[in-house]
Amino acid sequence: MTWPNVVRIEHTWAPHLTLDWGRVSPLRLEASDTTTLAQLAPVVEGKPDVSRITEIDLEDLARRFRMQKIVFETARDVFDQMAPTWQGSREVLIAQNMGRIVRHLWDAIRHENTQALTPIFDSERPIRGTGDMLPWHTGRPWADTERSHINRCVFDSAWEASEAFALDRHPDVVAWAKNDHLGFEIVYVFDGVVRKYRPDFLMKLKTGTTLVLEVKGQDSPQNQAKRAALDEWTRAVTAHGGFGHWRWAVSRTPSDIADVVRAAAQ
């Protein structure tokens, strides 16, 4: 099994940006998640000097900012993220807050105004595959496989063992592999930081579709950011045309794996 080694996804933007506020999902802000006090200390020889800590009252700092400046800086931040690939002007962008709201609006604008997605591949290693895996040692439990391109599957949990057992016997699965030491990674952004995550399973279905399966019991804003990046990745790779059709799905309980895979195969 092979997959494109994508380092980033480039967007082709509409020349005039629009945003349908009725389609923007609500963003819930929790007071408990808002930092109101920060402590800073100088770093000496790689370690913070705790004897010289100073405090910044973020609430007082916010009170001293005029709303007009907040609006302007929000619009500026959104524009700066889009500027490298968008040919419009600053005046078109509108936003109404800072921080998480900027990122929330940015995601909505990006989703609504993207005309095309172009995957950019690693120039040195554009294609990776299960055949590239080198032997590795582990003390975790494992089991032999029949349809996996890796001869043995190592388990991190009983849930994962149950999923692997089901995939190895599912009538719609031609081949599969657990994404462990494979190097299959999706780039995503969360809290302004570029990160990578590794989906749990990769499989080829009898329809020819390649399915990326994520096993996730509990949800979180970070997991939602991962899924959004995975959705963008599969759409970009499918649109490229050189790697067949790709889909993604999430298994939320050990008992739903058969139905999840069957739905993807249809």
Spans of all domains in the chain: 122-265
SS3 letters across the chain: CEEECEEEEEEEECCCCCCCHHHCCCCCCCHHHCCCEEEECCEECCEECHHHCEEEEHHHHHHCCCHHHHHHHHHHHHHHHHHHHCCCCHHHCCCCCCCHHHHHHHHHHHHHHEEEEEEEECCCCCEEEHHHCCCCCCCCCEEECCCECCCEEECCCHHHHHHHHHHCCCCCEEEEEECCCCCCCEEEEECCEEEEECCCEEEEECCCCEEEEEECCCCCHHHHHHHHHHHHHHHHHHHHCCCCCEEEEEECCHHHHHHHHHHHHC
The reported pLDDT for the residue numbered 50 is 58
The reported pLDDT for the residue numbered 66 is 58
pLDDT tens digits, one per residue of 117-137 = 899 999 999 999 999 888 889
Percent of the chain with pLDDT over 70: 72
Confidence of residue 90 (pLDDT cuts 50, 70, 90): very low
More reliable by pLDDT, 209 or 54: 209
The reported pLDDT for the residue numbered 39 is 55
pLDDT, mean of residues 49-65:
58
The reported pLDDT for the residue numbered 51 is 67
Mean pLDDT, the chain, whole residue set: 80
pLDDT tens digits, one per residue of 192-224 = 678 899 999 999 999 999 999 998 877 888 888
The reported pLDDT for the residue numbered 32 is 52
The reported pLDDT for the residue numbered 237 is 95
Q: Please check the confidence at residue 110 and state whether its pLDDT lies above 80.
A: no
Domain 122-265 carries which CATH code?
A: 3.40.1350
Confidence of residue 69 (pLDDT cuts 50, 70, 90): low
